[in-house]
Chain A
């Protein structure tokens, strides 16, 4: 092969110098679109992780009236023990609930002061044998009708809400990311065209003396490849930042619902490298198209 690496590197470096602003714009667009795409995929993974945890855990919580009589409470407990449809439950008494609230509102002591254990409801966290949402709803409704029950929260309702929200959000972010990725490809195409235009005399001479199209094309495609790669590499720490944001949600909102809203670090790395690969492909293909159109005319 007659292409020499030092020739390609020299040409590419020269093109970068000539088109520094356009190159920057391209790299930034690649970075933003890849970050968004990566974050959207990561978000989906986090939601999956969060909901998977929930599916084998507590399905609904029965909150008692704070003023409930011990007889009524025993009645409910007996139903939970006797029912074949319930595989297990945990009783959270007023003191435990108070401890959780203290934990939850630890940053606002003035709020904790006004709350006393007496004013908090005790609750049963119930694990039904059959976790089919319809069955859970039926069970929850049965308890909701019981005297002495303040309210029943099914996890499935909340989880479904989260899933709906996240899939809608994820779709939108992916659409935006794809639009941006196309924009990045067009920008790369344009950058290469500018580079080609500023070197049209060189290219004319190259064609004149019999340089092959590939010889002319490769330095420009390499330029697109580098732009895509650099954009992708910058996207990796930004994707990590998104992941950190997830763990902030995880730690701060002590809603048990969101426990497990996190992604394995190896998955984040894998996603990061996938984004770098995607950037490389978009860059190379975009510049390849630009050069081909220039060479054929």
Chain B
């Protein structure tokens, strides 16, 4: 599903974010990306959705070399990749329903599809009772559920989660992990960058550890360190 070949990324000609990294993720896998701050986790994720371009190397997503993708096709790549962030990135002036519907609206889905899909996905993430609330009326965990609903409503092949539990307490984090696990079981490939030792140790999934821009460990059913 994802193949990275000898990728190097340098910011402003001097900050080495990734150095000759190669990695392959199969369809339906769940991968933890661990490592200290600045080890290149976020760059790894941003390269996959082509928010950044590698200085060297090639990246394949769903069998396609995304380096050869013309700029106008990048939005269509992103429709296959759901993204979840530490800070949720919800729109404060839109309700829960509107936030999720917005993701379908701006890729031109017909209203009938939106009406059917949005309540279904909110049911899945357990927020059916908060549909008319605004993000600032929700807890952090609930906000992250909205953000996951938005990322997953279009049924992407890949879900990228950049420290999705970074702002949440351990119990809430577990709830989010259960949700991501459920999404993974539907066949969606999940890549999650995290600092959360207890979660990684509990889930026992594949762990890829980055340090100073290089992969120093790649372990199936691994632990945090």
Query: Which A residues lie at the B interface, using CB under 8 A?
Result: 2-4, 7, 201-202, 204-213, 215-216
Give the residue of B71, B72, B92, B103 whose beta carbon is less than 8 angstroms from that of A209. B103
A294 smallest CB distance to B (angstroms): 15
In the complex, chain B residues whose CB is within 8 Å of the CB of A4:
108
- Asked if B11 is at the interface (CB within 8 A of a chain A CB), the reply is no
Q: Give me the 4 closest cross-chain CB pairs, A-B, nearest first.
A: A2-B108, A210-B79, A210-B78, A211-B106
Give Cα A4 to B72, complex, Å. Answer: 19
Question: Does B78 contact A204, Cβ atoms closer than 8 Å?
Answer: no
Q: Find the residue from B75, B79, B91 having the highest chain A CB count within 10 A.
A: B75
Residues A201 and B106 in contact in the complex (CB < 8 Å), given A208-B78, A210-B76: no
Smallest CB-CB separation from B77: which chain A residue? A210
In the complex, chain A residues whose CB is within 8 Å of the CB of B106:
206, 209-211, 215-216
The prevalent SS among residues of A at the interface is helix
Give Cα A212 to B83, complex, Å. Answer: 17
Give the residue of A201, A204, A205, A210 whose beta carbon is less than 8 angstroms from that of B75. A210
In the complex, chain B residues whose CB is within 8 Å of the CB of A202:
91, 102
Within residues 57 to 84 of chain B, which ones have a CB less than 8 A from any CB in chain A?
71-72, 75-79, 83
In the complex, chain B residues whose CB is within 8 Å of the CB of A205:
89, 91, 102-103
Within residues 23 to 75 of chain B, which ones have a CB less than 8 A from any CB in chain A?
71-72, 75
B165 smallest CB distance to A (angstroms): 19
Question: Does B83 contact A208, Cβ atoms closer than 8 Å?
Answer: yes
Within residues 69 to 124 of chain B, which ones have a CB less than 8 A from any CB in chain A?
71-72, 75-79, 83, 89, 91-92, 102-103, 105-108
Residues A209 and B154 in contact in the complex (CB < 8 Å), given A201-B89, A202-B91, A204-B89: yes
Question: Does A2 contact B107, Cβ atoms closer than 8 Å?
Answer: yes
Smallest CB-CB separation from A214: which chain B residue? B72
- Asked if B150 is at the interface (CB within 8 A of a chain A CB), the reply is yes
In the complex, chain B residues whose CB is within 8 Å of the CB of A7:
105
Question: Does A211 contact B91, Cβ atoms closer than 8 Å?
Answer: no
A287 smallest CB distance to B (angstroms): 19
In the complex, chain A residues whose CB is within 8 Å of the CB of B108:
2-4, 215
Question: Does A211 contact B72, Cβ atoms closer than 8 Å?
Answer: no
Question: Does B89 contact A212, Cβ atoms closer than 8 Å?
Answer: no
Give Cα A210 to B73, complex, Å. Answer: 9
The prevalent SS among residues of B at the interface is helix
A181 smallest CB distance to B (angstroms): 31
Smallest CB-CB separation from B80: which chain A residue? A210
Residues A212 and B72 in contact in the complex (CB < 8 Å), given A2-B107, A3-B108: yes
Give the residue of B72, B76, B89, B105 whose beta carbon is less than 8 angstroms from that of A208. B89
In the complex, chain B residues whose CB is within 8 Å of the CB of A207:
75, 78
Give Cα A207 to B75, complex, Å. Answer: 7
A162 smallest CB distance to B (angstroms): 56
Give Cα A205 to B107, complex, Å. Answer: 11
In the complex, chain A residues whose CB is within 8 Å of the CB of B75:
207, 210-213
In the complex, chain A residues whose CB is within 8 Å of the CB of B79:
209-210
In the complex, chain A residues whose CB is within 8 Å of the CB of B77:
210
In the complex, chain A residues whose CB is within 8 Å of the CB of B83:
208
A37 smallest CB distance to B (angstroms): 36
Give Cα A211 to B77, complex, Å. Answer: 10
Give Cα A265 to B79, complex, Å. Answer: 56
Give Cα A212 to B91, complex, Å. Answer: 19
Return 18 A-B CB contacts under 8 Å, by A number.
Answer: A2-B107, A201-B89, A202-B102, A205-B89, A205-B102, A205-B103, A207-B75, A207-B78, A208-B83, A208-B89, A209-B102, A209-B103, A210-B79, A210-B107, A211-B75, A211-B107, A213-B72, A216-B106
Give Cα A211 to B79, complex, Å. Answer: 8
Smallest CB-CB separation from A199: which chain B residue? B91
Known: A205-B89, A209-B150. 8 other contacts (CB 8 A): A2-B107, A4-B108, A206-B102, A210-B75, A212-B72, A215-B107, A215-B108, A216-B106
Give Cα A200 to B72, complex, Å. Answer: 20
